[in-house]
C-alpha cells in the first residue's frame, strides 16, 4: 500500500462516477477508431476443459463450479479472454487489420491487493487479425503508438471537462526497450525496480519480449506460454506522480503461431496442453494469426482522474484494515 501524504481527491463521489463514464465511453470509441475494432459480447465463464482460460503465471487458481443443467460439467470464471478472442475472430470471419474488442470482467482470487490490484478485473480486451509478415517488432510498436493516441484523445476530453485535474501522460512518445536490454542496464535490481527506474526517466515505456528467461535465469515477468509470442509482446507503462511509481496500463502482443506455441510449451513444461481443443485448433491451422491485448479500465480511470487507489474508481472488496487506512488518508473506496 502507498498512502500519499496530503492526498485530496479533486472530484467528489458523484463527480467521480460521472467522470468514470466519460473516460470509458471516450476511450472505447477512440480505441475502436485507431485500431479498426468492432465491439462484441464476451463470456464471463468458459468450460474448464476447453483450454480457453488464461492461466496467467500458472499458479493463480480460477474460480470453478459445476452446472447441473450442463451435465455437471466444470466451468471457470475467466482470468482474461486472450485465447477466446482468437477463436471469436475466426467465428466472425474478421479479415486482416480488422478486429474486435469487448468488456472483459474477471475475478482473480489470488491477486495481492494494493493501490493498483483488485480481485475484480475489468479491462478492454481486443484482438485483430494479422498475417505472417506482420509478426515483427515494428508492427507491434506501431500498434502501441496507436493505443497511445487513443489514451491521449481520452485525456484531452477529460481535461476539457475537468480542468482541475493534472495531466498524467507527460510523454506521449513511447520509449521502447526489451526486457533483456533493461536487465543489462540494471542487473542488480529486481524487475519492478528496473521498471520504476526506466519509467521514471522516460515517462512512457513499452518493455518488450517478456516471458522468456533473462541471463539470471528468471523472466522479467510471468507470461502464459500459449497466447503471447514471447519475442513479440510487451507491457505499456507510464510514470504516475500521485503514487511515485510506474503503472502498467496494458499488456499485449502478437500471438503464438504453431512453432512458437510448441517451443514455449516445451520451455515451460506444459506440453500436456497440446491435447486441449484450443491448442489442437491452432496446430491444425484452424485459427487466424492475430495480435491483441488488454487495457485496464479501472487503472486508466484511476490515473486520468488523479486517484490514489483503484478502489476509488471500482466497487470491489477490500480488507477492513485497508479501508480504514485509506479513509484516514482521505482515500474513499467505492
What CATH number should be reported for the domain holding residue 160? 3.30.930.10
99 forms beta bridges with 37, 128
For residue 204, give the 3-state DSSP assignment.
strand
Catalytic residue among 28, 54, 125, 134: 54
Residue 7 lies in a domain: no
Catalytic residue among 118, 231, 251, 298: 251
Catalytic residue among 155, 235, 260, 264: 235
What does the angle CA 162 – CA 293 – CA 257 come to, to the nearest 5 degrees?
165
Would residue 54 show up in a list of annotated catalytic residues for this protein?
yes
Residue 59 lies in a domain: yes
Would residue 248 show up in a list of annotated catalytic residues for this protein?
yes
Residue 28 lies in a domain: yes
Catalytic residue among 118, 123, 250, 268: 123
Would residue 251 show up in a list of annotated catalytic residues for this protein?
yes
Query: Distances in Å between the alpha carbon of 213 and those of 85, 216, 218, 251, 268?
Result: 27, 8, 5, 18, 10
Residue 122: which domain range? 13-328
Cell (9 digits) for 179: 526486457
Give pLDDT, residue 116.
95
Q: Per-residue DSSP letters for 86-114?
A: HHHHHHHT--BT-EEEEEEEEE-TTPPPS
Candidates 185, 179, 273; CA nearest to 231 is 179
What burial class does residue 81 get, using C-beta atoms within 10 Å of its C-beta: 0-12 exposed, 13-18 middle, 19+ buried?
Answer: buried
Residue 82 lies in a domain: yes
- What mean pLDDT value characterizes the chain? 94
What burial class does residue 160 get, using C-beta atoms within 10 Å of its C-beta: 0-12 exposed, 13-18 middle, 19+ buried?
Answer: exposed
Residue 240 lies in a domain: yes
Task: Give residue-wise pLDDT tens across range 66-123.
Answer: 999 999 999 999 888 888 899 899 999 999 999 999 999 999 899 899 999 999 999 9
Would residue 229 show up in a list of annotated catalytic residues for this protein?
no
**Is a pLDDT exceeding 90 seen at residue 224?**
no
- In percent, the amount of the chain with pLDDT more than 90 equals 87
When divided into structural domains, the chain yields a total of 1
Cell (9 digits) for 289: 494469426
Task: Give residue-wise pLDDT tens across range 226-281.
Answer: 989 999 999 999 999 999 999 999 999 999 999 999 999 999 999 999 998 889 99
Give pLDDT, residue 11.
95
Q: What is the mean pLDDT of residues 197-207?
A: 97
Catalytic residue among 30, 76, 108, 228: 108
Q: E strands within the chain?
A: 37-39, 45-47, 64-67, 73-77, 99-107, 120-129, 175-178, 204-208, 228-240, 245-255, 290-296
Distance CA 192, CA 33 (A): 33
Band (pLDDT 50/70/90 cuts) for residue 145 is very high
Band (pLDDT 50/70/90 cuts) for residue 51 is confident
Give pLDDT, residue 154.
97
Would residue 179 show up in a list of annotated catalytic residues for this protein?
no
Instruction: Please tell me the pTM assigned to this model.
Output: 0.93
Would residue 235 show up in a list of annotated catalytic residues for this protein?
yes
Residue 187 lies in a domain: yes
Residue 5 lies in a domain: no
46 forms beta bridges with 76
Residue 114 lies in a domain: yes
Catalytic residue among 248, 316, 325, 332: 248
Amino acid at each position: 500500500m502507498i498512502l500519499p501524504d496530503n492526498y485530496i481527491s479533486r472530484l467528489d463521489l458523484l463527480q467521480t462516477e460521472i467522470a468514470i463514464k466519460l473516460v470509458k465511453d471516450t476511450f472505447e470509441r477512440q480505441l475502436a477508431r485507431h485500431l479498426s475494432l468492432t465491439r462484441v459480447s464476451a463470456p464471463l465463464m468458459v468450460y474448464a476443459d476447453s483450454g480457453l482460460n488464461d492461466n496467467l503465471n500458472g499458479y493463480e487458481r480460477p474460480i470453478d463450479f459445476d452446472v447441473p443443467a450442463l451435465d455437471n460439467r466444470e466451468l471457470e470464471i475467466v482470468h482474461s479472454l486472450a485465447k477466446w478472442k482468437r477463436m471469436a475472430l475466426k467465428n466472425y470471419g474478421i479479415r486482416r487489420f480488422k478486429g474486435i474488442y469487448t468488456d472483459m470482467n474477471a475475478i482473480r482470487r489470488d491477486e495481492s491487493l494494493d493501490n493498483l490490484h483488485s480481485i475484480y478485473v475489468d479491462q478492454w480486451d481486443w484482438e485483430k487479425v494479422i498475417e505472417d509478415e506482420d509478426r515483427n517488432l515494428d508492427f507491434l510498436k506501431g500498434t502501441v503508438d496507436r493505443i497511445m493516441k487513443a489514451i491521449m484523445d481520452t485525456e484531452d476530453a477529460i481535461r476539457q471537462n475537468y480542468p482541475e485535474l493534472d495531466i498524467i501522460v507527460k510523454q506521449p512518445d513511447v520509449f521502447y526497450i526489451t526486457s533483456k536490454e533493461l536487465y543489462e542496464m540494471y542487473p542488480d535490481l529486481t524487475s519492478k525496480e528496473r521498471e520504476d527506474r526506466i519509467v521514471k526517466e522516460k515517462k512512457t515505456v513499452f518493455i518488450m519480449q517478456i516471458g522468456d528467461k533473462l541471463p539470471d535465469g528468471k523472466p522479467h515477468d510471468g507470461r502464459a506460454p500459449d497466447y503471447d509470442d514471447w519475442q513479440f509482446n510487451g507491457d505499456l507503462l507510464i510514470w504516475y506522480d500521485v503514487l511515485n511509481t510506474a503503472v502498467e496500463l496494458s499488456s499485449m502482443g502478437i500471438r503464438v503461431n504453431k512453432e512458437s506455441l510448441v517451443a514455449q510449451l516445451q520451455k515451460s513444461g506444459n506440453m500436456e496442453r497440446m491435447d486441449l481443443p484450443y491448442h489442437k485448433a491452432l496446430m491444425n491451422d484452424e485459427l487466424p494469426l492475430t495480435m491483441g491485448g488488454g487495457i485496464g479500465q479501472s487503472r486508466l480511470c484511476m490515473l486520468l482522474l488523479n486517484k490514489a487507489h483503484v478502489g476509488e474508481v471500482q466497487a470491489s472488496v477490500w480488507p477492513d484494515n485497508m479501508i480504514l487506512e485509506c479513509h484516514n488518508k482521505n482515500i474513499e473506496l467505492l
